[in-house]
Amino acid sequence: MFENKLVLELLERYRVLWALGHASSLMGWDSETYMPREGVEERSIASAELSLLSRRLLLENIAPLVEKLVGVEGLNDFERGVVRVLWRDVERLRRIPENIQYELAKLRSEAPVVWREAREKDDFERFKPYLSRIVELERQVAELLGYEEHPYDALLDYYEEGLRDRDVRVMFSTLVPSIRRVLEKVMAEGYYPREHVLENVEYRREAMETVNREVLNILGFPWSKGRLDVSAHPFTIGIALSDVRITTRYEGRDFRRSLFAVIHEFGHALYNLQVDERLKMTPLAEGASLGVHESQSRFWENIVGRSRAFVELLKPILDEHLGFTRDYSVEELYKYFNIVRPSLIRVDADEVTYNLHIYLRYELERMLVAGEIKVHDLPELWNEYMDRLLGIKPKSYKDGVLQDIHWSLTAIGYFPTYTIGNILAAQLKNRFEADVGRLGDVIGERRFELVRVYLREKIHKWGAVYPPKDLVVKALGEPMNPVYLAEYIENKYSRL
Amino acid sequence: MFENKLVLELLERYRVLWALGHASSLMGWDSETYMPREGVEERSIASAELSLLSRRLLLENIAPLVEKLVGVEGLNDFERGVVRVLWRDVERLRRIPENIQYELAKLRSEAPVVWREAREKDDFERFKPYLSRIVELERQVAELLGYEEHPYDALLDYYEEGLRDRDVRVMFSTLVPSIRRVLEKVMAEGYYPREHVLENVEYRREAMETVNREVLNILGFPWSKGRLDVSAHPFTIGIALSDVRITTRYEGRDFRRSLFAVIHEFGHALYNLQVDERLKMTPLAEGASLGVHESQSRFWENIVGRSRAFVELLKPILDEHLGFTRDYSVEELYKYFNIVRPSLIRVDADEVTYNLHIYLRYELERMLVAGEIKVHDLPELWNEYMDRLLGIKPKSYKDGVLQDIHWSLTAIGYFPTYTIGNILAAQLKNRFEADVGRLGDVIGERRFELVRVYLREKIHKWGAVYPPKDLVVKALGEPMNPVYLAEYIENKYSRL
């Protein structure tokens, strides 16, 4: 796999950076799950120190060696992957001075705290100075990193290697009209209830935990290499190839929220867990990009989890542990899990409307980064877009512009990867059915091993060896194509 | 507190080492509590990498500056403390080559896993190669560090600055005969039952968790700065001054085991939590030594926790949550908590016999380090010593030589600090009663604030500013003296 002497030397030197990443991941996981409240101050200093240390080690010990390897002929795909991934990091860090990195790192721990307060108090003014500074810094970052057409390109590329604003525009120009057509049809039919009884039925937390664990068992989650914990916002973190942890939340009602968070995070976790063992502790031991990662979580959450065949499997588990689902048929549960309805909160949105929420954020971010609008303009523009796209308007900031944590984490250019994930998930379903057989049948027969192996061979095992665009072509035979998602939504929701 | 410019510069440079220590502590905590089983391999490599990185940073960035400061006049106590603690680390690391440090670090993660399996399967052979290698390496370490009289000195000094084998011999030569006298008297009287009914009464884990939490509330454990979790072997870990975590275990019967582990670990935690805030993120933000640390845990566990006055406070909590204690009077519970009886397992040993278990380990370690015996000889010698000291012999490895985790953690020279802790705890009781008043009265009035403040002012707040021997004289007015413990045991157990 790795034979070139310089690459081997590089991987040897990289080991300590990997270890720092391992520690930082654990610190991140702990901060969101078990850390005592007052631990936050020392933890954030420790995190910032380790992030600066990583920067220095990368620039001092790794950069000179990677530089020698850039453009060297005769490397195999794995070796080229190592050089590509590290060179991206080196170039980025060389262009962003330490003081900007430090300020962004500091904001990443401070701003979410302010954002949380602002959201609770529904007070946009409180968050505004932080968000303004973040936008200002991210605009500087874009200039420092450079771009060909649009400053947003520079930010997109960080989350999704090779992604450009023009790709995103093309993507949404196919998707948005098609989604809106389906949405109008669905709304006209009045098939889905405005409110579903199950949304208000309370569950016992222990019972729901058991459901989640049994569902993970069915899917094949390897408990010897992972955990399920609780956090305010569900997430997956790969601490090591054999230590991948997911979280969910228990709000006490509307059980599908907890359940589908688990299935979603399972998708992310499986990707991390199925990276080739031989890439362990290398810079390739992670997903190809956020978009490809999201395709995995969305594949399991929506394509598998919200399918009729899967609801059949869920029903006995729900009936046994929650009990109250016994009054509902599989068909009724299927409907509950797939209600389509314009709503204010992205994370609660259905498969049809979800990408409209992303489109809104994309448009706003793009204008912010271009300097066409100011943070001050966001709340009003948010409401206008909501009205235009979904026909509803939030009555508060917390149901509108203050709902997402991302901007407080200085993540601008991240949202489009969610739609990429949805598109690739639909595309993957299509490919899987051509290569293996009807997914519904495979699910019905509980042959998840087949799905896991397919995903491993096509995508997971490659880790970050290939840039996402290349991996997609290699795995799916063609580039990302939003038509697959449009068709999937059309098929699933227009034929009721 | 810190004014000297070079010391300030030193502390600035030390910050990243502190951050690495923070990360390593969290990794250690996680390994024992929540890490998925198969995470161990990558975790152990990450730990070893970070330990090597710390070493390099210490030797490259810290050492030259500390060296300048060694022997500089006019430093205040805090500044001298910083220089002393860092100089100890520098000297140690300069003498131990990187490959030995790396191997020891790797063993510290791997060997406990093997030890656990070996203990479960009662299979000493399985652990033997690991222990042999550990002993071999520790003997090399002793030679590299150097010593005046006995190679064991070099290892003792690591855990207890300034402690020598001759000190330990003197300590045990006072203590062992005195303990054995009390033990013989107690056994002859037949006051304690051979088996106590409560040892086999089962408890519900949730109920016991509530008891433990309520006891921690009474003692004043600050939940915003700490946690209580579960691990195979109870421990305390200071991740930060505002993040100190303790663990206990729930075996389902003999509830005092879980309870007194919690009170013990509370003592350790309180020490970490009450170090002067201004020492945060400096090399002084830790205890003076393992012995002084253990004096705190033993003070709370035995002197406070196993006192009649404390049992009075415990009774209503136990009665409410466990229920079955209602059939027992305070006096009967007091007796149950203080049963004296030769037993096989150190961690379950009573105050009288406990130090005989330590004495046994001390003798074996000392001979191992001197090369007078081999790991191969341990099981038999263990049994011989048990017979000679306590008149009983284990029938399995897990009740004998495989019972302790310490050796698997490469900790040789650590055990004597437990007896130092017991001695200092008794000495502290004496001092407290001279300075403040009868401890039994303070406990009876639930005035634990008084105890916490006393310990903070005498010991905790100083962190590692003074070497342990100096701190003891400063806090207690005289050096460590085993007579206090001998008298305490005599008083408590010979007058039944």
Residue pLDDT, tens place only, B410-446: 999 999 999 999 999 999 999 999 999 999 999 999 9
What is the per-residue pLDDT for B109?
A: 82
Between chains, do A27 and B24 touch, taking CB under 8 Å as contact? no
Minimum-distance CB partner of B42 among A38, A49, A243: A243
Whether residue A230 lies within 8 A of chain B, CB to CB, comes out as no
Helix (H) or strand (E) segment spanning residue A226: strand A226-230
Whether the pLDDT of residue A289 is over 90: the answer is: yes
Q: Which structure tokens are listed for A68?
A: 């020698």
> What is the least distance, in Å, from the CA of B221 to any CA of chain A?
12
Identify all chain B residues contacting A221, using CB atoms and an 8 Å cutoff: none
- Residue A105: pLDDT band with limits 50, 70, 90: confident
> What is the least distance, in Å, from the CA of A281 to any CA of chain B?
8
Is the CB of residue A481 less than 8 Å from the CB of residue A427? yes
Rounded distance between C-alpha atoms, residue A341 and residue A352, angstroms: 8
Is the CB of residue B83 less than 8 Å from the CB of residue B71? no
What is the per-residue pLDDT for A496?
A: 57
Burial class for B153, CB neighbours closer than 10 Å (0-12, 13-18, 19+): buried
> What is the least distance, in Å, from the CA of B16 to any CA of chain A?
6
- Residue A495: pLDDT band with limits 50, 70, 90: low
Select the CATH number that applies to the domain covering B165-493 from these four: 1.10.10.60, 1.10.1370.30, 1.25.10.10, 1.10.2020.10: 1.10.1370.30
Whether the pLDDT of residue A65 is over 90: the answer is: yes
Identify all chain B residues contacting A275, using CB atoms and an 8 Å cutoff: none
Whether residue B240 lies within 8 A of chain A, CB to CB, comes out as yes
Q: What are the pLDDT digits (tens) for A147-190?
A: 999 999 999 999 999 999 999 999 999 999 999 999 999 999 88
B301 catalytically annotated: no
Identify all chain B residues contacting A55, using CB atoms and an 8 Å cutoff: none
Rounded distance between C-alpha atoms, residue B281 and residue B21, angstroms: 10
Q: Which residue in chain B has the smallest CA separation from A41? A: B242
Handedness of CA A460, A461, A462, A464 (dihedral sign): positive
Q: Which residue in chain A has the smallest CA separation from B42? A: A240
Whether residue A278 lies within 8 A of chain B, CB to CB, comes out as no
Q: How far is CA A392 from the centre of its chain?
A: 26
Minimum-distance CB partner of B240 among A16, A18, A42: A42
- Give ipTM to 2 decimals: 0.94
Whether the pLDDT of residue B102 is over 90: the answer is: no
Identify all chain B residues contacting A15, using CB atoms and an 8 Å cutoff: 45, 49
Whether residue B205 lies within 8 A of chain A, CB to CB, comes out as no
Between chains, do B52 and A27 touch, taking CB under 8 Å as contact? no
Query: What are the extents of the domains in chain A?
Result: 5-159, 165-493
Q: Choosing among B243, B246, B273, B275, which should be mutated to test the A contact, i.e. which has the most A CBs within 10 A?
A: B243
Q: What are the pLDDT digits (tens) for B208-233?
A: 999 999 999 999 999 999 999 999 88
- Residue B13: pLDDT band with limits 50, 70, 90: very high
Between chains, do B224 and A16 touch, taking CB under 8 Å as contact? no
Instruction: Report the pLDDT averaged over residues A118-124.
Output: 96
Cα-only R_g, chain B: 22
Cα-only R_g, chain A: 22
> Rounded mean pLDDT of chain A?
96
Question: Residue B431 region, left (φ>0) first, then alpha (ψ -120 to 50), else beta?
Answer: alpha
Q: Which residue in chain A has the smallest CA separation from B34? A: A227
Minimum-distance CB partner of A26 among B16, B26, B224: B26
Identify all chain B residues contacting A223, using CB atoms and an 8 Å cutoff: 36
Determine which of A186-200, A453-467, B70-84, B333-347 has the lowest per-residue pLDDT on average.
A186-200
Q: What are the pLDDT digits (tens) for B32-61?
A: 999 999 999 999 899 999 999 999 999 999
Instruction: Report the pLDDT averaged over residues A321-337.
Output: 97
SS3 content of chain B, % helix, strand, coil (to 5): 70, 5, 25
Between chains, do A49 and B240 touch, taking CB under 8 Å as contact? no
Q: Choosing among B42, B45, B213, which should be mutated to test the A contact, i.e. which has the most A CBs within 10 A?
A: B42
Rounded distance between C-alpha atoms, residue B354 and residue B194, angstroms: 17
Between chains, do A36 and B223 touch, taking CB under 8 Å as contact? yes
Q: Which residue in chain B has the smallest CA separation from A240? A: B42
- Residue A113: pLDDT band with limits 50, 70, 90: confident
Count contacts between A and B (CB, < 8 Å).
127
Q: How far is CA A387 from the centre of its chain?
A: 26
Instruction: Report the pLDDT averaged over residues B319-334.
Output: 97
Instruction: Report the pLDDT averaged over residues A203-221.
Output: 98
Q: Are strands A243-248 and A226-230 parallel, antiparallel or unpaired?
A: parallel
Determine which of A225-239, A478-492, B105-119, B354-368 has the lowest per-residue pLDDT on average.
B105-119
Between chains, do B42 and A226 touch, taking CB under 8 Å as contact? no
Instruction: Report the pLDDT averaged over residues A217-245.
Output: 96
What is the per-residue pLDDT for B495?
A: 67
What is the per-residue pLDDT for B192?
A: 87
Whether residue A27 lies within 8 A of chain B, CB to CB, comes out as yes
CA angle B436, B439, B440 (to 5 degrees): 140
Which residues, listed in sequence order, are joined to residue A202 by a DSSP beta bridge? Answer: A253
Between chains, do A49 and B15 touch, taking CB under 8 Å as contact? yes
Rounded distance between C-alpha atoms, residue A419 and residue B392, angstroms: 70
Identify all chain A residues contacting B245, using CB atoms and an 8 Å cutoff: 36
- Sequence-distant (6+) residues with CB within 8 A of A80 are none
> Rounded mean pLDDT of chain B?
96
Residue % of chain B over a pLDDT of 70: 100
Between chains, do B243 and A42 touch, taking CB under 8 Å as contact? yes
Rounded distance between C-alpha atoms, residue A422 and residue B202, angstroms: 52
- Residue A232: pLDDT band with limits 50, 70, 90: confident
What is the per-residue pLDDT for A109?
A: 81
Helix, coil or strand: residue A169? helix
Rounded distance between C-alpha atoms, residue A115 and residue A130, angstroms: 9
List of long-range contacts for A454-457, beta carbons under 8 Å, 24+ apart? A455/A270, A455/A271, A455/A274, A455/A296, A455/A299, A455/A428, A456/A274
Of B19, B471, B83, the closest CA to residue B280 belongs to B19
Q: Which amino acid is at A465?
A: V
Of B27, B120, B101, B29, the closest CA to residue B58 belongs to B101
Whether residue B206 lies within 8 A of chain A, CB to CB, comes out as no
User: Would you state the torsion angle of the CA atoms of residues B341, B345, B350, B351, taken in this order, to the nearest 10 degrees?
Assistant: 130
Identify all chain A residues contacting B239, using CB atoms and an 8 Å cutoff: 39
DSSP string, B149-216: S-HHHHHHHHHSTT--HHHHHHHHHHHHHHHHHHHHHHHHHT-S-SS-GGGG-B--HHHHHHHHHHHH
Q: Which structure tokens are listed for B364?
A: 């074996």
For A274, what's the count of Cα atoms within 13 Å in the CB-facing half-sphere?
A: 24
Q: Which residue in chain A has the smallest CA separation from B35? A: A243
Q: What are the pLDDT digits (tens) for A5-55?
A: 999 999 999 999 999 999 999 999 999 999 999 999 999 899 999 999 999
Between chains, do B239 and A38 touch, taking CB under 8 Å as contact? no
- Residue B450: pLDDT band with limits 50, 70, 90: very high
* Cβ atoms within 10 Å of A213's Cβ, excluding its own: 16
Whether residue B225 lies within 8 A of chain A, CB to CB, comes out as yes
Residue % of chain B over a pLDDT of 90: 94
Whether residue B226 lies within 8 A of chain A, CB to CB, comes out as yes
- Which of B79, B265, B294, B351 is catalytic? The answer is B265
Burial class for B388, CB neighbours closer than 10 Å (0-12, 13-18, 19+): exposed
Whether residue B20 lies within 8 A of chain A, CB to CB, comes out as yes
For tokens 């809104």, name the residue.
Answer: A360
What is the per-residue pLDDT for A311?
A: 98
Question: Residue A417 region, left (φ>0) first, then alpha (ψ -120 to 50), else beta?
Answer: alpha
What is the per-residue pLDDT for B191?
A: 85
Is the CB of residue B156 less than 8 Å from the CB of residue B415? no
Whether residue B113 lies within 8 A of chain A, CB to CB, comes out as no
Instruction: Report the pLDDT averaged over residues B471-480.
Output: 97
What is the per-residue pLDDT for A190?
A: 86
Whether the pLDDT of residue B126 is over 60: the answer is: yes
Rounded distance between C-alpha atoms, residue A206 and residue B365, angstroms: 48
What is the per-residue pLDDT for B153?
A: 98
What is the per-residue pLDDT for B395?
A: 96
Of A296, A250, A251, A306, the closest CA to residue A269 belongs to A296
Whether the pLDDT of residue A304 is over 90: the answer is: yes
Q: How far is CA B247 from the centre of its chain?
A: 13
Identify all chain B residues contacting A282, using CB atoms and an 8 Å cutoff: none
The model's pTM: 0.94
List active site positions of A.
265
- Residue A110: pLDDT band with limits 50, 70, 90: confident
Whether the pLDDT of residue B361 is over 90: the answer is: yes
- Residue A265: pLDDT band with limits 50, 70, 90: very high
Which residues, listed in sequence order, are joined to residue A236 by a DSSP beta bridge? Answer: A246
B255: phi then psi, degrees, rounded to nearest 5: -60, -25
Which of B 242-261 lie inside 8 A of A, CB atoms? 242-243, 245
Q: Which structure tokens are listed for B115?
A: 């030890």
Instruction: Report the pLDDT averaged over residues A93-108.
Output: 91
For tokens 């290892």, name the residue.
Answer: B155
Instruction: Report the pLDDT averaged over residues B462-477.
Output: 98
Determine which of A397-406, B108-117, B215-224, B303-312 has the lowest per-residue pLDDT on average.
B108-117
Whether residue B132 lies within 8 A of chain A, CB to CB, comes out as no
